[in-house]
């Protein structure tokens, strides 16, 4: 299985400041169709996960444009340009290049 | 609106069985792959299984292969997970999810789930 490693595990951020989440895969995530299947999910406290980003940088419908995804190969980043209170929660990266799809262990975003 | 509602969770003894259901509404259920994902207490997410639109393709994580069976009834807009030989380590919240993109040969889900249910808790304990 492809192992997804996220860092940091905890991210304290001041409201209005940017936040950056890192995700590294144990294998390159480029599939034979030349697409890279890396997604990001947000899980607010007490809620189900919600997909934010798919295929590295495509935002899901309704996701604020302060969220952006980037990266290639084995290194990927989710950025929040200005953190708001509603952004508190755990963020997971997930690869879909190979079955089983695997998630990182998550990064917990907290307000400083 | 698009909605997934899981049911069937509860307390079961080790070695026992349980059948989870997921009722879909607000979209054309038969047009989508569906999946089950779980989250152990205080832990991360584990993708357990998926099923194709016409049930042609299914697959499982090694942790549940041979013990869990995914199925669907398109006429009833429902997804199921039959769980047997349950272990303490199967204790988790179980989510069903809609898969919006698949590819390859055989086709597998590629971008996770775009719609998630609220989850149903399963506790395996004597």
* Contact between chains at B112 and A106 (C-beta distance less than 8 A): no
How much is the average pLDDT of B96-109? 93
Best A99, A104, A105, A108 member to test B by mutation, with max B CBs in 10 Å, is A99
End-to-end CA distance of chain B: 39
Q: Which residues contact B8 (CB under 8 A, 6 or more apart)?
A: B18, B19, B20, B21, B120
Best B111, B114, B120, B121 member to test A by mutation, with max A CBs in 10 Å, is B111
Query: Which two structure tokens, joined as six digits, stand for A55?
Result: 């295929």
From B67, B61, B4, B2, select the one nearest B34 (Cα to Cα): B4
Task: Please say whether the dihedral angle defined by the alpha carbons of residues A9, A57, A68 and B96, taken in this order, is positive or negative.
Answer: negative
State residue B93's pLDDT score: 98
Tens-digit pLDDT profile for residues B50-84: 999 999 999 999 999 999 999 999 999 999 999 99
- E strands in A1-112: 4-7, 10-13, 19-25, 38-43, 50-54, 58-59, 67-72, 75-80, 89-95, 102-103, 107-111
**Pairwise CA distance, residues A88 & A78, whole Å:** 14
The torsion angles phi and psi of A83, rounded to 5 degrees, stand at -70, 135
Query: Which two structure tokens, joined as six digits, stand for A81?
Result: 């340009």
State residue B101's pLDDT score: 92
**Pairwise CA distance, residues B48 & A102, whole Å:** 10
* Smallest CA–CA distance from B95 into chain A, residue: A48
Q: Does residue A33 belong to the interface with chain B, where contact is any CB pair within 8 Å?
A: yes
**Pairwise CA distance, residues B39 & A103, whole Å:** 11
- The answer to whether A52 and B125 are in contact (CB under 8 A) is no
Tens-digit pLDDT profile for residues A70-110: 999 999 999 999 999 999 999 999 999 999 999 999 999 99
Q: Any idea what DSSP says for residue A60?
A: P
* Contact between chains at A41 and B45 (C-beta distance less than 8 A): yes
Tens-digit pLDDT profile for residues B25-58: 999 999 999 999 999 999 999 999 999 999 999 9
């Amino acid at each position: 299985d492809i192992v997804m490693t996220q860092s940091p595990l905890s991210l304290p951020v001041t409201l209005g400041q940017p936040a950056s989440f890192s995700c590294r895969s144990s294998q390159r995530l480029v599939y034979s169709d030349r697409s890279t299947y890396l997604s990001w999910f947000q899980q607010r406290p007490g809620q189900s996960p919600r997909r934010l980003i798919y295929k590295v940088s495509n935002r899901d419908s309704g996701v604020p444009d302060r969220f952006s995804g980037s990266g290639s190969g084995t290194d990927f980043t989710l950025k929040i340009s200005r953190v708001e209170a509603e952004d508190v929660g755990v963020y997971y990266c997930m690869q879909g290049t190979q079955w089983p799809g695997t998630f990182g262990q998550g990064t917990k975003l907290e307000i400083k | 609106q698009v909605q997934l509602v899981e049911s069937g969770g509860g307390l079961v003894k080790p070695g026992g069985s349980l059948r989870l259901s997921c009722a879909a509404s607000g979209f054309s259920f038969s047009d989508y792959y569906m999946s089950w994902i779980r989250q152990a207490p205080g832990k991360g997410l584990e993708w357990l299984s998926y099923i194709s639109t016409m049930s042609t393709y299914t697959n499982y994580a090694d942790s549940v292969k041979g013990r869990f069976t995914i199925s669907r009834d398109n006429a009833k807009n429902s997804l199921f997970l039959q769980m047997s030989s349950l272990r303490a380590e199967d204790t988790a919240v179980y989510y069903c999810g809609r898969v919006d993109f698949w590819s390859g040969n055989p086709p597998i889900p590629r971008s996770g789930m775009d719609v998630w249910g609220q989850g149903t808790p399963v506790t395996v304990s004597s």
